[in-house]
Amino acid sequence: MNMSKLEIVGHNPDVLTCIASLSNDEVFTPPELANRILDSLPQEIFSNPETTFLDPSCKSGVFLREIAKRLIVGLERNIPDLQERINHIFNNQLFGIAITELTSLLSRRSVYCRKYANSLFSVPMFEKADGNIRYKRIQHNWKNGKCVFCGASNSQYGNDNELEFHAYEWIHTASPGDVFNMKFDVIIGNPPYQMETLGAGKQAKPIYHYFVRQAKKLNPRYLVMITPSRWFAGGMGLDEFRNEMLNDSHIKEITDYSLSTECFPGVDIAGGVSYFIWDREYSGKCSYTYIDRGVTTKRIRQLNEYDVFVRDNRAIDIVNKVTKNGEKSITELMSSLGPFGLGTSERGTDKQTSDTYVLFSSAGRSYIDKHSVKSGHEYIGKWKVIIGKATSAGAATAGKDGLRKVIATLEVLEPNAVCTFSYFIGASFDEEYMALNCMKYFKTKFVRYLLLQCLSSINITKERFRFVPIQDFTKPWSDDDLYKKYRLNEIEINQIETTIRSME
């Protein structure tokens, strides 16, 4: 046996560990993580010569490579001859779809030890250059300026050029089973997370959920995928996907990292990352593991207990205590973003007249012509508590002290004062003292902890306050008052106090 074929058994440390953090939208999976995930599957699948595996989003080929190593050991009794065993595994059990031509070469090099599977030293030698790891350049299917499969914009990705344009084969077909014309027992991968969208300030469009949905169409025995954890809270076109996942009783396990760097060293993905194990034969509650700054908690959870998923196992009892009172959510008092129809860049003037309102923007206070205010007239004559739509330090990121501020900006605006799109109204009142009491309530660690449970990105909307109840704002509220009202115990109080920073 030549040295290349020996490599597939031993695999000395290689470049796959080094390239595991090349980008934020197509994150390469470290071998250590791939093996932790494979350890979570029933190990007998690696001793079955009939088990078939598919990675529909090959980048480095690490999943197929690590599966191959396990099969080579697991099938030794069934197929004693090593070369015969290798031929069987690579020809009949391992399949991949690369996301780019470059990653197809990299994946084949990792799995077959050669970038072309029909080369002399490939393990084993195929008749075709791509072996069972294919890459096919696919075109978007345009309709009304959008791709009918992934929603990409024709204006951005319609040009026929050599740049990557996110037309991945797996998600650009109505029948994913036709790609290899076969079914698979295990579908596993780490799909691309997003595609960029045109325009300043535009958020990238998530696409990983398309890979999950396509995999489910094939109804494998097991489905395992790594994704950003943002789907727990929805938003950015993920609301429907969130509902599908939270109501899917086949999701047997989820492992969730609050900080992506704990999963992908050196890669910062807002909101963290997670991987799930979907088991076709299982139906029930989910074994959910949450990892936050080195602290791991595990709990059997009902995923659809709320319409968003509370990620921190230590928080769920607190949320349950608050919501069981049946109080109305403070979202009923809130406005949508940009309540006055004024853009984020609006700065007004320094001249005050009888025809101006006070304008509050990120640049401070100025004045704006009354006729420029497009909406929100019902708020103008009231005292308003406004909240900045951007969180402090991304909310999910703790400071050096391990604490999070969550809300970056809170202000009380007087009557005849308005704000830009950078803020929304938390509540409005006829009396100043009630607005001040309400602002004090928003500043409590209690409120910001409940808000944190619904955040998945740097942006705050009123929907993220769904767990925060309305209080009697004729009086001020402190954390001690709230801890007592909702009967939090010492452990729960300590959890809040050691998570949220004081807000002066």
Summarize pLDDT for 402-438 with one digit per residue, the tens.
788 999 999 999 999 999 999 999 999 999 999 999 9
Tell me: pLDDT of 278 over 70.
Answer: yes
| Mean pLDDT over each residue of the chain, to the nearest integer | 90
Higher pLDDT, 459 or 91: 91
Q: Is the dihedral of CA 85, 88, 91, 92 positive or negative?
A: negative
Do 89 and 174 lie in a common domain?
yes
Tell me: pLDDT of 171 over 60.
Answer: yes
DSSP assignment letter at 362: T
Give tens-digit pLDDT for 14-26: 455 544 434 445 6
- State the pLDDT at residue 160: 58
Do 343 and 284 lie in a common domain?
no
Domain contains 26: yes
| Residue 292, strand partner residues | 295
- State the pLDDT at residue 202: 57
- State the pLDDT at residue 205: 86
- State the pLDDT at residue 6: 40
Domain contains 319: no
Do 86 and 147 lie in a common domain?
yes
- State the pLDDT at residue 5: 45
Average pLDDT over every residue of 302-309: 93
DSSP assignment letter at 30: P
Overall residue count recorded for the chain in this entry: 504
User: Do the bridges between strand 356-361 and strand 417-419 make them parallel or antiparallel, or are there none, so unpaired?
Assistant: parallel
DSSP assignment letter at 215: H
Do 93 and 138 lie in a common domain?
yes
Domain contains 177: yes
Domain total for the chain? 2
Contact assessment for residue 258 and residue 291, using Cβ atoms and an 8 Å cutoff: yes
Average pLDDT over every residue of 125-142: 92
Domain around 367: 330-497
Give tens-digit pLDDT for 29-74: 999 999 999 999 999 999 999 999 999 999 999 999 999 999 999 9
Which tokens belong to 285?
Answer: 């509650």
Given 282, 313, 344, which residue is the final one in a domain?
A: 313
Do 61 and 111 lie in a common domain?
yes
User: For the domain that residue 200 is a member of, what is the CATH number?
Assistant: 3.40.50.150
Do 258 and 348 lie in a common domain?
no
Given 265, 281, 313, which residue is the final one in a domain?
A: 313
Average pLDDT over every residue of 146-165: 77
* Phi, psi for 31 (deg, rounded to 5): -55, -35
Higher pLDDT, 477 or 160: 477
Higher pLDDT, 487 or 17: 487
- State the pLDDT at residue 369: 96
Average pLDDT over every residue of 463-470: 96
- State the pLDDT at residue 161: 54
Q: Which residue has the tokens 């991304």?
A: 394
- State the pLDDT at residue 92: 96
- State the pLDDT at residue 421: 93
- State the pLDDT at residue 229: 93
Do 222 and 128 lie in a common domain?
yes
Domain contains 34: yes
Do 257 and 344 lie in a common domain?
no
Of the pLDDT bands very low, low, confident and very high (cuts 50, 70, 90), residue 201 is very low
Give tens-digit pLDDT for 314-349: 999 999 999 998 999 999 999 998 999 999 999 999
- 3-state helix, strand, coil split of the chain in percent (to 5) is 30, 20, 50
Classified as helix, coil or strand, 31 is: helix
Given 280, 313, 346, which residue is the final one in a domain?
A: 313
> CA triplet 356, 360, 362: central angle to 5 degrees?
140
Do 367 and 414 lie in a common domain?
yes
- State the pLDDT at residue 393: 52
Quote the percentage of the chain above a pLDDT of 70: 90
Domain contains 85: yes
Q: Is 212 exposed, middle or buried (0-12, 13-18, 19+ CB in 10 A)?
A: buried
Q: d(Cα 120, Cα 91) in Å, to the nearest integer?
A: 16
Domain contains 243: yes
Domain contains 129: yes
Tell me: pLDDT of 472 over 90.
Answer: yes
- Angstrom CA distances, 411 to 339, 418, 428, stand at 15, 11, 12
Classified as helix, coil or strand, 438 is: helix
Of the pLDDT bands very low, low, confident and very high (cuts 50, 70, 90), residue 390 is confident
* Phi, psi for 199 (deg, rounded to 5): 105, 140
Do 297 and 407 lie in a common domain?
no
Do 338 and 271 lie in a common domain?
no
- State the pLDDT at residue 166: 79
Tell me: pLDDT of 4 over 60.
Answer: no
Shortest CA distance to 196 belongs to which of 173, 226, 166, 216? 166
Cβ neighbors of 152 (< 8 A, separation 6 or more) are 140, 146, 165, 166, 167, 195, 205
Higher pLDDT, 367 or 16: 367
Q: d(Cα 195, Cα 298) in Å, to the nearest integer?
A: 33
Tell me: pLDDT of 10 over 80.
Answer: no
Of the pLDDT bands very low, low, confident and very high (cuts 50, 70, 90), residue 164 is low
Do 7 and 75 lie in a common domain?
yes
Domain contains 423: yes
DSSP assignment letter at 198: S
Q: Tell me which amino acid residue 93 is.
A: Q
Tell me: pLDDT of 165 over 90.
Answer: no
